[in-house]
Amino acid sequence: MSSPSVQILHKERLPTSGCLVIPGRLDFGHLSTLEKLCAGRKITWLIEESAHHEPALRSHLEKSGSGAMFSATDTAPAAAGHQLQTYLANSGVLIFVPGRATVQNATANHIPAASLKALCAFGLPILPIAIDCPRESSFCTDRKASLPSAVLCIGKSIAPENASIAAYQQALLEANEEAYSSRTRLTKSLAMALLEGLKKHGSKKRILDGADDSALTYYQILAIAIVFSKFIREETDKTRVAIVLPPGKAGLIANLAVLFAGKVPVNLNFTAGHEAIKSCIRQADVDSFITADPFVRKVSSFPWPPNRDLIFIERVLPTLKGKIATWSVISRLLPAAVLGIMLGLNKRRGEDEATLLFTSGSSGEPKGVVLSHRNVLSNVCQFASRLHLPNGSTILGCLPLFHSFGCTVTLWFPVIEGINLVTYPSPLETKRLAELIALHQINIFLSTPTFLRGYMKRIDPAQFASLKLIVTGAEKLPQSLATAFAEKFGVRPQEGYGLTETSPATNVNLPDPAPQPDSVALPSSRHGSVGQLLPGLAIKITDPGTDLEIPLNQQGIIWFKGANVFKGYLGAPKKTAEVLSDGWFRTGDVGRLDDDGFLYIEGRISRFSKIAGEMVPHETVEATINKVLGLDAESERRIAVVGIPDEQKGEAILLLSTIAGPALEQECIDLRYKLLDEGLSSLWCPKKIVAVREIPVLASGKLDIKACESLAKKEA
């Protein structure tokens, strides 16, 4: 069934009085929709003097005979705005027409910051309009013709006295979130999307397991997963099935089979402590664990359940060879829709639970994050639409499957979007990973700064020649490390950001697009930031002290809203209520947005100390200490800052250090003077140094906050 070419949301927000309409982007095909929307009112097109437009659009504007010009460099924008005010008389609308821009796909805003600043300075009432183009940012398995060419969502009006870049950005992103969240594709089944991906790319794409150099096509994976799913269905009546496997063909098959069985995969963190693992097992209510003999021997410290609860995948699959051969034929012959009906894949969809992940427990007991089919499908589409990878791309999957990025980006994403997947069970074996990158000409590599440091001294730059994109997450990317890595390997790591609760990706930096003739190149990366928001995400910032909303360009607590935001923690309504409010998720991270939409993370609220009423960011203090002590950002973590109670000022800073000598008191005094010379406030200087053997770090490379606080409490 064909969809209407253009859909319009929230027509009721169109004010009856005159206003300046600012669409985030505007192609020729959307012009007539805006004209119909404002039918019966006088329309004046507002054009920037230096802007270039596509020929068809410019021709249409010239024929309309009603236009006004402005310059972004005008030194008296208020006076220009006063002249433009006449166009708003008698409910007239002034519609800004953005010029041609070279921009990464699927960004909501195609307007340069300088132009936006001038528009907001006119002193006119502003109406933002988000234009989402599903055909540009859909799944590769979707039929483009069945999708609307655009969804126009009218945003909330901005009064002249409140007009600013930050206010426009917030209103536009909120409207874009509404447009994106209206996509009917997101109500479907993750299992069905995976089956469609395996069918579409069956003979052309493959998974190569770097542990044994074996390869399977997506067609082979499909048949094995279908047969294994039937085995799983017979083994357990529970809704969820635990998976204790590293990245590899077994991990991929296990996750697919559990979903095809109509159940929920739970990838357990085998690097966590016993109590944390037992908590996850108890919360998930699982009685079956898919694993492999060699892995059980390798992680013998894992609190393994009795053998009757273990499903050894390498023992089971050989017994199913005959059935796999049969389904190899069936799965190739039958259309995906028929296979989906036969397997019952559409019974669980939309808001139903698709997968269960657990938080790292870096600041407490692991929390079960319930991700729905809608959440995961949304994030796969968001990530894919920003990357827009060329056909034949290959991604390296070495992050653990219990890691949210490892799960979505190196498990579901390659299968749905048709990307070759090369796996390896550990992100620590840098020599072998570099060999795989060179051997298979891998283009995309996801890692963490902690793991990237391992490549700096051991790897030949020629082995990384094929890499086009390296994205880091889980912890802050030191710019000194990014620069040193780029100088050695010729590709700069780009920092991204996400949380388990957002499925996980929310932001990513990407290499800047090459400038095009007659086009303004908008930036796609900014050093020190975590990048621009993925499409379909809205953001707001609140004051840490009052919880009141503040402008996006001011530092405060970050909140996200979007189809990829989870609905709550497993069996924990109180914890859920602490972080979710009216669809908005409180991240607990502190940050701000700049004029080009880049998000800067200043730190976690749990990594701030309130000293004498002042918010002190631990990560900023750590960065300055690293600088004055000459510590190499490319090496392992040597220090960590922790807040401890202080009777006089509420809190004080304590420094954990692996390089501290015996004269700790004198070292603390010397360090204080060095920090003061760097311009750091005395309130921000450590009150005490504690010598430790090592700084506690989680398997992902994140600082283990809970363990650091335990060390600090013992000494304090």
| CATH number of domain containing 563 | 3.40.50.12780
560, 542: one domain: yes
222, 347: one domain: yes
In degrees to the nearest 10, what's the CA dihedral of 248, 249, 255, 259?
160
Amino acid of residue 667: E
Rounded to whole angstroms, how far apart are CA atoms 508 and 531?
Answer: 4
The residue from 182, 207, 234 where one domain ends is: 182
Alpha carbon distance, N-terminus to C-terminus of the chain: 68
Parallel, antiparallel or unpaired: strands 126-132 and 19-23:
parallel
Per-residue pLDDT of 299-339, as tens digits, reads 888 888 887 799 999 999 999 999 999 999 999 999 999 99
Two tokens, residue 137: 């940012």
Query: Would you say 396 and 437 are in contact if contact means Cβ atoms under 8 Å apart?
Result: yes
241, 130: one domain: no
Question: Which pLDDT band holds residue 29 (cuts at 50, 70, 90)?
Answer: confident
- pLDDT of residue 656 exceeding 70, the answer is yes
**pLDDT at residue 589, rounded to an integer:** 92
176, 269: one domain: no
Rounded to whole angstroms, how far apart are CA atoms 691 and 217?
Answer: 52
Check residue 480 and give left, alpha or beta (phi > 0: left; psi -120 to 50: alpha).
Answer: alpha
363, 476: one domain: yes
Cβ atoms within 10 Å of 134's Cβ, excluding its own:
25
Amino acid of residue 703: L
CATH (domain of 651): 3.30.300.30
**pLDDT at residue 414, rounded to an integer:** 96
Rounded to whole angstroms, how far apart are CA atoms 125 and 182?
Answer: 27
Beta bridge partners of 604: 589
Could you tell me if residue 648 is inside a domain? Answer: yes
Per-residue pLDDT of 67-96, as tens digits, reads 888 988 888 989 999 999 999 999 999 999
**pLDDT at residue 105, rounded to an integer:** 64
* Averaged pLDDT for residues 563-575: 96
Strand, helix or coil for residue 617: strand
Two tokens, residue 469: 């994109």
Range of the domain at 213: 190-509+525-590
**pLDDT at residue 363, rounded to an integer:** 54
Question: Which pLDDT band holds residue 58 (cuts at 50, 70, 90)?
Answer: confident
Per-residue pLDDT of 413-455, as tens digits, reads 999 999 999 999 999 899 999 999 999 999 999 998 888 988 9
686, 566: one domain: no
Rounded to whole angstroms, how far apart are CA atoms 558 and 575?
Answer: 17
Instruction: State the alpha helices, DSSP H only, in 352-428.
Output: 373-387, 404-407, 413-417
194, 139: one domain: no
Per-residue pLDDT of 122-151, as tens digits, reads 999 999 999 999 988 888 888 787 888 899
Per-residue pLDDT of 333-370, as tens digits, reads 999 999 999 999 999 999 999 999 998 765 567 899 99
Could you tell me if residue 519 is inside a domain? Answer: no
